[in-house]
Amino acid sequence: MSTNEQYQYEVGPIRPPSEGYSLLLRLVRGCAWNKCKFCGFYRKEKFGVRSVEHVQRDIDAIRSWIDVFQGKTYKIPVGDEEREAYYVAANWFQSGMESVFLQDANALLMKPEQIIEVLRYLHQVFPGIKRITAYARSDTIARIDDHHLWEFAHMGLNRLHVGMETGCDELLKLVNKGVDKATQIKAGKKAMAAGIEVSEFYMPGLGGREYARQSALDTADVINQINPDFVRIRSMALSKKLDLYADYQAGIFTRTNDIDDVREIRTFIEHLHGITSVVESDHILNILLELRGKLPEDKDRLLRTIDDFLSLPEDQQMVFRLGRRLGVMGSLSDLGSELRVTRVKEVMSTYRVDHTNIDAVSNDLMINAVPIQGDED
Ligand code: SF4
C-alpha cells in the first residue's frame, strides 16, 4: 500500500460468473502470486494493496450514485472515473444491491484489521447487503489466524471462491500453482469451520490427457475431504499466450478436447462421495452447462447427462460442440431444435468444419470467449 498514492476510483477486470450482480469493490490490485502457467489475467498488473481510505472513497462514490438513482439527489457523471463509478453503481442498483465481490485475485492479502474495517464501513453505508464474497488463494487462507476468519464471517464475508484447479500434487507443481493438495484441504476446512461458504473451482483439461484421470481422482479426494458449499467447473482454454502453451508444445501435456474433458468430469463426479456440495457449471468455457445439481441426490442425474453426451453419434456431438462454442446452443436439449441445428450446420458448411478440425475450431472459439485471458499476457 502506498499512502501517498493519489485516489482514483478503481474496478478490477474479473469476477467469478456467479458474481455478475455483485458490486465489484477493489481491495487489492492484481495477483501477488501471478505465476500460474494457465492464467494470464494479471500479468501486466503490478500487485498492490489499496488503502482503506481509498476503498472507503470508492464505497462513497457508489453511494452517491445510488442516492441519485433513488431520487435523493441529482448530478451527472463528469470524466471517465465518475462514469466508471456511475456504470458500476447502475448495474448494482438494477441488481437489487444485495451482494458485493471484493477484488482482485486475493483480497485476503489486505491486513485482517483493514478487511474488517472495510466490511464494517460497507455495512454502515449499505445496511441492506446480504452477501460479501472474494477470491482467495488456499495458501493465504491457511496462514490466516482462525479468529480473523471468524471475524470476517461475523462481519458478513460469507463466501470465498478458491481456485483449486486440481488436487493432483504433481500437476499443481507442473502448472506452478504454488499450493499443494494438503494446503488446499487445510484451507477449505478452515474457512468452512469459520462459517464462511467455500466455492472451489476445478479445471478439467488442465493436465492434458496425461493427467486427466489422476487430476479427477485427486480433485474428488480434496472435495470429499472439504465438503465445500460449491464446486464450480471451469474448463481450460489454451491460449498461445499462456506460459502453459510452451509445455504443450514441448509434449509435457497432450491437449484434450471437449469429449476428453467431459470424460474427466465424469470420473471426478463419479468419485464424489459423502458430501452435500452444489455442483455448478456456470462458466462460458464449459461444454455442458446443465451439469448443475446438489449432491448426493443429483449425482445420478449429472452422470446420466454426461453419458447422454458421450453416447451421441459423432456428427451430433460435433454439432453440439460447435453450437455451444458459437452460443447457438445452451444445453443438449437444443439438439432437438431444428432451427438451431440448421444454423450450426450452415456454419459448418460455410467454414468447412468437420471431424478433422473441430478440436482446433472449438479451442479457438473458447479462447475468443475469454479474450482477456490471452490478451493481457
Ligand atoms: S490463477 Fe489465481 S493465483 Fe494463479 S496467477 Fe491467476 S489470479 Fe493468480
Residues 226 and 337 in one domain: no
C-alpha cell at 251: 509434449
Single pTM value for the model: 0.93
* Three-state secondary structure call for residue 8: coil
| pLDDT reading at 184 higher than 90 | yes
Q: What is the CATH number of the domain that holds 68?
A: 3.80.30.20
Residues 306 and 353 in one domain: no
pLDDT on residue 113: 97
Assigned domain for 11 exists: no
How many Å apart are CA 103 and CA 23, to the nearest integer? Answer: 10
How many Å apart are CA 316 and CA 311, to the nearest integer? Answer: 10
Index of the ligand 1 atom closest to the CA of residue 38: 1
**β-sheet bridge partners, residue 48:** 29
> Do 214 and 167 meet the contact criterion of CB atoms below 8 Å apart?
no
Residues 331 and 229 in one domain: no
Final residue in a domain of this structure, among 270, 297, 316: 316
Q: How far is CA 360 from CA 212, 238, 326, in A?
A: 19, 11, 14
> Do 318 and 357 meet the contact criterion of CB atoms below 8 Å apart?
no
Nearest to 48, CA basis, from 35, 24, 30 = 30
How many Å apart are CA 277 and CA 198, to the nearest integer? Answer: 10
Q: What is the pLDDT of residues 42-81, one digit of tens each?
A: 988 899 999 999 999 999 999 999 999 999 999 888 888 8
Q: For 198-221, what is the mean pLDDT?
A: 97
Residues 205 and 322 in one domain: no
Residues 308 and 324 in one domain: no
Residues 149 and 172 in one domain: yes
Q: If you compute the radius of gyration of the chain from its CA atoms, what whole number of angstroms results? A: 22
> Do 133 and 160 meet the contact criterion of CB atoms below 8 Å apart?
yes
163 lines ligand 1 (CB under 6 A): yes
| pLDDT reading at 234 higher than 90 | yes
pLDDT on residue 372: 41
Q: What is the pLDDT of residues 363-375, one digit of tens each?
A: 889 888 775 443 3
Which range among 182-186, 232-236, 372-376 shows the weakest confidence by mean pLDDT? 372-376
| pLDDT reading at 14 higher than 90 | no
33 lines ligand 1 (CB under 6 A): yes
34 lines ligand 1 (CB under 6 A): yes
Assigned domain for 8 exists: no
| pLDDT reading at 170 higher than 80 | yes
| pLDDT reading at 376 higher than 70 | no
Q: For 305-319, what is the mean pLDDT?
A: 97
Residues 331 and 267 in one domain: no
Q: Indicate which residue's Cα is closest to atom 4 of ligand 1.
A: 36
- Per DSSP, which regions of 73-140 are E strands? 99-103, 131-135
How many Å apart are CA 351 and CA 361, to the nearest integer? Answer: 10
Index of the ligand 1 atom closest to the CA of residue 39: 6
Percent of the chain with pLDDT over 70: 97
Three-point CA angle 166, 358, 270, nearest 5°: 35
To test the ligand 1 pocket, which listed residue (15, 36, 42) has its Cβ within 8 A of the most ligand atoms? 36
C-alpha cell at 365: 472459439
Nearest to 196, CA basis, from 224, 226, 176 = 226
Residues 269 and 363 in one domain: no
pLDDT on residue 367: 86
pLDDT on residue 78: 82
pLDDT on residue 373: 47
- DSSP 3-state percent helix, strand, coil across the chain (nearest 5): 50, 10, 40
Please give the backbone phi and psi of residue 66, each rounded to the nearest 5 degrees, phi first: -60, -40
Q: 194 lies in which domain range?
A: 17-316
Residues 333 and 308 in one domain: no
Average pLDDT of the chain is 94
Residues 51 and 200 in one domain: yes
| pLDDT reading at 136 higher than 80 | yes
Half-sphere exposure of residue 223: CA atoms within 13 angstroms, side-chain side: 32
pLDDT on residue 3: 54
Number of neighbours of residue 278 by Cβ within 10 angstroms: 15
Number of neighbours of residue 273 by Cβ within 10 angstroms: 12
pLDDT on residue 377: 27
- 105 CA distance to ligand 1 centroid (A)? 7
pLDDT on residue 75: 87
Q: What letter does residue 51 receive in the DSSP assignment?
A: P
- 288 CA distance to ligand 1 centroid (A)? 24
Q: For 275-285, what is the mean pLDDT?
A: 95
pLDDT on residue 2: 47
Q: What letter does residue 202 receive in the DSSP assignment?
A: E
Residues 270 and 305 in one domain: yes
Residues 324 and 301 in one domain: no
